[in-house]
Amino acid sequence: MAKIAVIGDRDSVLGFRALGLEVHTVEDSTEARHLLRKAAEEGCAAVFLTEALAAPLQEEIDRYKEALTPAIVLIPGKGGSLGLGETALHNAVERAVGADIT
């Protein structure tokens, strides 16, 4: 079975452990960058990353955008959504369909 990792602050990601996912709690984007690279190297199929950590890691996330794995999914953190996940999903659909569907 493919591995799925979750990276974020403790309050935002701890609940994912109950689903059997590989949970990594981090304090800053430097730790998150290291864990994202490690997850990719270890063949994780998907990585859930909190939006607050994703903002400063956009260049790193873009490295994996065209790769088959890992699929990087941005999730809201404990402070709520920053809109980054929604924007990323919108852009992915636009790229797949070839047109803006909103």
Indicate the domain borders of the chain.
4-97
DSSP 42: T
| 3-class DSSP state of 91 | helix
Of the pLDDT bands very low, low, confident and very high (cuts 50, 70, 90), residue 77 is confident
Confidence (pLDDT) at 69: 87
Higher-confidence residue of 65 and 3: namely 3
- Which CATH topology does 4-97 take? Rossmann fold (3.40.50)
Confidence (pLDDT) at 16: 94
